Amino acid sequence: MSVHATAKRSLDVLFSAIALIGLAPTLALLALVVWLTMGRPVLFRQQRLGLHGRPFTVLKFRTMRNDRDADGHLLPDAERTTRIGGLLRATSLDELPQLWNVLKGEMSLVGTRPHPLKYLNRYNPEQRRRLDVKPGLTTLSAVNGRNAQSWSDKLAWDIAYVERQSLWLDLSILGRTVLTVISRRGASDVAPMPEFLGTEKEADG
**Could you report the per-residue pLDDT of 31-70, keeping only the tens digit for each?**
999 999 888 899 999 999 999 999 999 999 999 887 777 7
What confidence score (pLDDT) does residue 204 get?
45
pTM for the predicted model, two decimal places: 0.86
Beta bridge partners of 56: 48
Tell me, yes or no, whether 203 lies in a domain: no
For residue 99, is pLDDT > 70? yes
Tell me, yes or no, whether 104 lies in a domain: yes
What is the mean pLDDT of the segment spanning 157-166?
Answer: 94
Mean per-residue pLDDT over the chain, rounded = 87
CA distances from 122 to 115, 197, 205 (A): 11, 6, 15
- Structurally, the chain folds into a number of domains equal to 1
- Domain span at residue 87 reads 3-184
For residue 192, is pLDDT > 70? no
Tell me, yes or no, whether 196 lies in a domain: no
What is the mean pLDDT of the segment spanning 154-165?
Answer: 94
Q: Which residue has the higher pLDDT, 103 or 183?
A: 103
Yes or no: say if 26 and 92 are a contact pair by the CB < 8 Å rule: no
The alpha carbon torsion through 103, 174, 52, 4 (nearest 10 deg) reads -90
Tell me, yes or no, whether 197 lies in a domain: no
